[in-house]
Structure 1
Amino acid sequence: MGLQASIDIQFSQDLSPKDIVIKLINSGWKIDFEGCVTFIMPTDIDDYDWKTLKYSDFKLEEFINFHSDENNLGIVLVSSNNIGGEFLIYSGWMSFSLSINRVYLSSDTKIVDFSFYLEKLRPFTKMIKVSSIQCELTY
């Protein structure tokens, strides 16, 4: 199965997944990874059928507006140095799968440097109220 790493953030109150993705983008995360955008359509209920479009063909505003305030939202986001992964955003929490250019504590270990990711998420977490953050690494 391989290594899986994720960070789950529980919100103190229900929030619109649309607002959450906008806050993530406004705090430095970007949708463009190697000229493409990867996302889940709002009509995809629990299938997690990720779609990919060229960045130039993707219209973020249309994607956001296609979701209702209650729709779950799935999108790949990366930081300025192209480190990131899949974000699954629900009204009460979000899960961030650390899958793109994963950062480790050292080159000789497969222990993910969660502090790196938490620092990248810090501007976002300052915008909302968080009730818990859970970092998980599974071999």
Structure 2
Amino acid sequence: MQDMTPPPHPADFLNDILMPATGRSDGEIAHLLGVSPETFYKLLTREKPITRQTAELLGRFFQTGVDFWLQMQAEFDRYMAMQIAIERELVSLPSAETWMAEDRLPEADVALERVPFDERMECIAHIRC
């Protein structure tokens, strides 16, 4: 099974690791990067994603390179897109109540009903062994 731990968001990496290491305030770093404090705040709070331009500024300032930031943002975005797709799939599945109310069974259960009871029990016993 695939690990479902989200990859780090660039803002978390900035907040938790890089910013404390500089000993500077958010406003000071924004000034050194050449961006407004508001823009930098939006980066730190995940309101604004890392763009190529932002990655270039951060890469130069923290000496990490551009690809470091772009890859981190892309991995986080991919993870979030996957989570949204999974949620949509789960939301689109009918609930157990719907299946019962419509007197429907999933295909696997319908196929299983066609198998004689003794054969089903034999199959279950074999799986447990």
* Structure-2-length-normalised TM-score: 0.24
Larger Rg: 2
Bigger fraction of residues in helix: 2
Bigger fraction of residues in strand: 1
* Structure-1-length-normalised TM-score: 0.22
